[in-house]
C-alpha cells in the first residue's frame, strides 16, 4: 500500500476511496483537459465532489550495452519518469 497524499491510499493497481461508499451521485462530468489527459468530476448529493485526472506521461528507459555472444553486458542504464504537477 502506498500513500498518495491526503487520506488516499493506492492499493497495488488501484486507488481506494472509502469515504465515497454509500454516497449518491448527482452528476458526472468528463472533461478533456488542456494537457495530456482526461478529468472526471463527480458531484454528490450531499454537496461534496470527487475529481480524478487520468493522463498519459512518457516513461523513458535507455541502456548502453556491449553485445556479443550470449547475454549483452549492460554498461549503464538510464530512467526518466515525468513528475506529476500538484
What are the residue boundaries of the structural domains of the chain, listed by start?
2-81
Phi, psi of 45 (to 5 degrees): -70, -15
pLDDT in tens, the chain (86 residues): 444 445 555 556 788 888 889 999 999 999 987 777 889 999 999 999 999 888 777 778 888 878 888 888 888 888 876 665 54
Q: What pLDDT shows up at residue 50? A: 93
Q: What pLDDT shows up at residue 12? A: 61
pTM over the 0.75 mark: no
d(CA 41, CA 79): 33
Q: What pLDDT shows up at residue 44? A: 92
CB 76 within 8 A of CB 52: no
Amino acid at each position: 500500500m502506498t500513500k498518495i497524499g491526503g487520506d488516499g491510499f493506492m492499493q497495488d493497481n488501484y486507488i481506494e476511496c472509502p469515504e465515497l461508499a454509500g454516497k449518491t451521485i448527482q452528476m458526472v462530468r468528463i472533461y478533456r483537459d488542456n494537457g495530456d489527459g482526461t478529468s472526471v468530476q463527480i458531484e454528490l448529493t450531499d454537496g461534496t465532489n470527487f475529481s480524478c485526472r487520468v493522463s498519459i506521461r512518457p516513461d523513458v528507459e535507455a541502456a548502453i550495452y556491449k553485445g556479443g555472444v550470449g547475454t549483452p553486458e549492460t554498461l549503464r542504464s538510464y530512467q526518466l519518469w515525468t513528475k506529476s504537477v500538484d
